[in-house]
Structure 1
Amino acid sequence: MPLLSESSSSQLSILYCIGVGLYNAFLHPLRYIPGPKLAAASRLIWAKHQRNGTLSKYVTQLHEKYGEVVRLAPNEVSFTSGETAWQDIYGLRVGKCDHGAYLKDPNWFPLPPNGVNSIIGANEADHARMRRLVSHAFSEKALRSQEYIIQLYVDLLVQRLHEQIHGNTIGVVDMVKWYNFTTFDVIADLTFGESFHCLRDKTYHPWVSMAFQTIKSYGFISMKRYFPIWAQIVKLLEPKAALRLRREFFRFVDSKVAWRMSMETTRPDFMGFIMRHQDEKGMTVKEIESSLNSFMVAGSETSATMLSGTTMMLIQHPDKMRRLVDEIRSHFGKHSDITLEEVFKLPYLDAVFREGLRMYPPVPTGFARVVPPGGDQISGYWIPGQTSVYVSQFPANHSSRNFTEPNSFIPERWLGEDARFTGDKFSVWNPFSFGPRNCIGKNLAAAEIRLVLSKVFWNFDMELGT
């Protein structure tokens, strides 16, 4: 029996790819969802933007052109219709259980190096079991007991900033760096009982640099899952150092978990609460390692990015900054008066916090879920089973369909003072996700960000450096 030549095989492969692309674009069950046909035909355009770091910008442009529902890839649909999509995808609603659970898309949540899912990537049953235990570490009561730890590092941040001015009234400081020093020190101390000492040493700890590289590696892991046949090609494109450092960072977390578990202390850090409430239905050591690794990444760089972006926007809008500074300095007579309880009483600070997260959401794309096998209705569209769906946060927050002057930093929109913003769809704003699997650390993040902004702007006047 004659064998196909290499030329014939190549031609058949090309014809097959063309056929699959035509099917995806014109015959697939998602063919009626708005979006560019090239994106519907193949995931290659998505992969290009994922590789270049332009995915959220690209998705934003598509939503402005095609509307609130856009097909981004053959089996992926993005929503900015937050008023309905958050509830339909992530929430609990009548009839939803008839279709089955919207499980997390495994392509978006790679397994940790130890092969065991964290609380973030766990299935529904494991997530409920882990959350029951971990929730003690993130409760209001726990936050009150952890305040002295957070205050310690925010005060050290202020001290270091004063030192950077060298006794003069004016100094140039890289706030992005100092915000990262602070958030990494706070989350490390709360996670392991010991900080990275970035603020003390005035430099990044080597393991913090690893954390940055760990974040970079996630996109390539997803690409390999989406293109298993081309995995070797993707492997050539991925940053080898990032993947190596991801494994090293996880080994570091393992060692810190083992060290903390060996300590006999009632300290109110995450491990203290987990160990105190651990029982036969608790978490395995590997689950703890994976989850604390996730907390380290999720609770550090994201907060620093929001602080950096919000500070920049305030400096670029002197009237907004002056209003915030006046509120903070009139409410607090001295630096030591600034407490977690008090910072939550400041309405304009709350508006700045919300507007900052609208402009700079922690996850700019979305939290991908898989539609259950029978399919379901999302924002008025029937979406077939096994489709990856999510609310794209950056596009939703910057959509002219959801917010007036969406690309402008206007904290006043959250105060109800200006009639221009009465039509804004504030229910779209869910920076910490929505439903029973929303971010467990949202109260900690809200407290830390408010405290940092309050103490920094109580102590310093700012303008953009040259």
Structure 2
Amino acid sequence: MIYNLYFHPLARFPGPFWARTTLFWRFWHDLTGLSHWTIQDCHRKYGDVFRVGPNELSFASVQAYKDIYAAKGPRPLKSEFYDMLGTGFSESCVVTERDHKWALQKRALFTSAMSSKALMEQEVVIQRCIDGFVEKLGKLGGGPGGLDLTKWYMMLSFDIGGEMAFGESFGCVDAETSNHWLDTIFAHLHAISIMDNIRRMPLVEKTARLIPTKWTTGIRNRITGFAREKSKRRIERSGETVDFLSNVVEKVRSGKISHEEMAAHCSIIAIASSETSATSLATITYFLLRSPAVHNRLKAEIRDHFKSPQEIDIASATKLPYLFAVIEEGLRIVPTTTVGFLRRVPFPGIEVDGHFVPGGTEVSVSGWTTARDERYFHDPLSFKPERWLDPECKDVKEASQPFSLGPRSCPGKTFAYAQMSVELAKMIWTYDMELVDPSLDWEKQVRLHFVLWKPELYVRFIERKLS
């Protein structure tokens, strides 16, 4: 404790006493699920950088984003956390690979799959999933109790994620219920957030190893086994159809990559694509229904532009300026990058936002804090899509990085915008919507356990009357 406080290479950085001296401060706040609020409060107290743990710094500035994630010189590498995220697979994937050179090679597998051209080729599949979802909203959500959109957005995004990762839907929307793999995944991700803290504590980690293996690996093995089975089925269907994975499947069949690597890629794509889209859609819907003027303006744009929901496609929906602004504002106010993406500083060290950070330090940027900073956004806690359209607006837009930035940024950005644009446009064209509980403070109930745990969001759907 004395060493960490006075003699550690990070001793000059400010922070809460228990954060500077022990690992338990970080662990405790991660367990509560409120670490995003706590870190924001600490940045307000200590400034753009503070000590989250004895060997970890949190930053909250635009320059730190660039220095940590998009540096052109010596680049911080992904931390050991990503080894845990990929646990259960013997091969790393596009997200969990820590070596920068290998990561770029794995990313190249998906360059064509994530292109606008590939997206248009798969539009019929995406539209089929969304149309089924929109139909269910009116059928099941028209009564006084409405429908829990947190759950239904997750189910829809998971179905689309299944099409994207494995070439087949999970069938959640059709069955009107969640999939067992979806439920297992979130238990696994919650466990990873705990284990990430434990791996920093050698004594605790050694004690944890005494726990019977079947207790700690059961969930992991169900996830990896399911991914292997699904990816094997996709390989067996090779040649039947062209989809997002066609290039990867051919690489497996030619022996250039292993089936294990494909399973790892598919698993993380299904998880990442579904969770992030579902979080953003729930956020947008909540703030939209709490902001009547914004809601009415968006309804007018969508309903004036399209004569029927059948006219709504990716090309047209993604060109609606106010819809784009609404999505951008939703991505800003509750960013899916709330958790700081940990990086390990290379030796001997680098400069981050004017501070020399010694090699071996773990660093990250708090996306939640930066996107809600008054220095970068006027009235940052208000939902104001107009800020993304007004050429006179002085907001620093690059303080919002919902897909991160640099060579390790999210490759599915185009897909995410397309999916959200079509979903929102079709839903808003078809229904008038209202919160079942207008007093709901949904945002305050969100919890962070690596990914965002979202409370129920009950919405009532009234099919619009066409004159």
Normalised to the residue count of structure 1, the TM-score between the two structures is 0.88
Q: 1:353 matched to which residue of 2?
A: 327
Give the 3-state SS of the residue equivalent to 1:34 in structure 2. coil
2:19 to 4, 21, 39: 39
CA distance in 2, matches of 1:277, 1:341: 30
In the alignment, is residue 214 of structure 1 matched against residue 193 of structure 2? Answer: no
Give the 3-state SS of the residue equivalent to 1:302 in structure 2. helix
Give the 3-state SS of the residue equivalent to 1:309 in structure 2. helix
Q: Is the 8 A contact 1:40 1:71 kept in 2?
A: yes
CA distance in 2, matches of 1:241, 1:304: 30
Q: 2:456 matched to which residue of 1?
A: none
Q: 1:89 matched to which residue of 2?
A: 68
Give the 3-state SS of the residue equivalent to 1:136 in structure 2. coil
2:49 to 59, 63, 69: 69
Structure 1 residue 45, shift from structure 2 partner: 0.4
Q: 2:106 matched to which residue of 1?
A: 130
In structure 2, give the amino acid aligned to 1:62: C
Q: Is the 8 A contact 2:118 2:244 kept in 1?
A: no
Structure 1 residue 138, shift from structure 2 partner: 0.8
Q: Is the 8 A contact 1:375 1:385 kept in 2?
A: yes
Comparing 22-31 with 66-75, which one deviates more in the overlay? 22-31
Give the 3-state SS of the residue equivalent to 2:28 in structure 1. helix
Comparing 222-231 with 340-349, which one deviates more in the overlay? 222-231
- Residue deviations 1:199-253, cap 9 Å, x none? 1111112121112212212112212211121126667999x97852232011101
Q: 1:51 matched to which residue of 2?
A: 31
Q: 2:179 matched to which residue of 1?
A: 205
Comparing 304-313 with 272-281, which one deviates more in the overlay? 272-281
CA distance in 2, matches of 1:282, 1:429: 38
Q: Higher Cα Rg: structure 1 or 2?
A: 1
Structure 1 residue 115, shift from structure 2 partner: 2.8
Q: 1:80 matched to which residue of 2?
A: 60
Q: 1:387 matched to which residue of 2?
A: 361
In structure 2, give the amino acid aligned to 1:50: D
Task: State how many pairs are aligned.
Answer: 435
Matches within 5 A, 1:288-307: 288-307=262-281
In the alignment, is residue 262 of structure 1 matched against residue 222 of structure 2? Answer: no
- Residue deviations 1:411-430, cap 9 Å, x none? 1111116x6x41x2211111
Cα 1:282–1:219 change in 2 (3 A) is: same
CA distance in 2, matches of 1:445, 1:282: 29
Structure with the bigger percentage of strand = 2
Q: 1:318 matched to which residue of 2?
A: 292
In the alignment, is residue 453 of structure 1 matched against residue 424 of structure 2? Answer: yes
Normalised to the residue count of structure 2, the TM-score between the two structures is 0.88
Comparing 21-30 with 333-342, which one deviates more in the overlay? 21-30
In structure 1, give the amino acid aligned to 2:66: Q
CA distance in 2, matches of 1:235, 1:159: 49
1:117 to 92, 111, 130: 92
Name structure 1 gaps, 5 residues minimum: 1-20
1:373 to 347, 369, 373: 347
CA distance in 1, matches of 2:26, 2:344: 18
CA distance in 1, matches of 2:211, 2:410: 32
Structure 1 residue 280, shift from structure 2 partner: 7.0
In structure 2, give the amino acid aligned to 1:90: Y
Q: Considering only aligned residues, what root-mean-square deviation do their CA atoms show, in Å?
A: 2.3
Name structure 2 gaps, 5 residues minimum: 438-467
Structure with the bigger percentage of helix = 1
Q: Is the 8 A contact 2:78 2:343 kept in 1?
A: yes
Structure 1 residue 277, shift from structure 2 partner: 5.6
Q: Structure 1 vs Structure 2: percent identity of aligned residues?
A: 33
In structure 2, give the amino acid aligned to 1:85: A
Comparing 274-283 with 249-258, which one deviates more in the overlay? 274-283
Q: 1:439 matched to which residue of 2?
A: 410
- Residue deviations 1:11-31, cap 9 Å, x none? xxxxxxxxxx12212222212
CA distance in 2, matches of 1:305, 1:255: 27
1:105 to 73, 79, 83: 79
Structure 1 residue 135, shift from structure 2 partner: 1.6
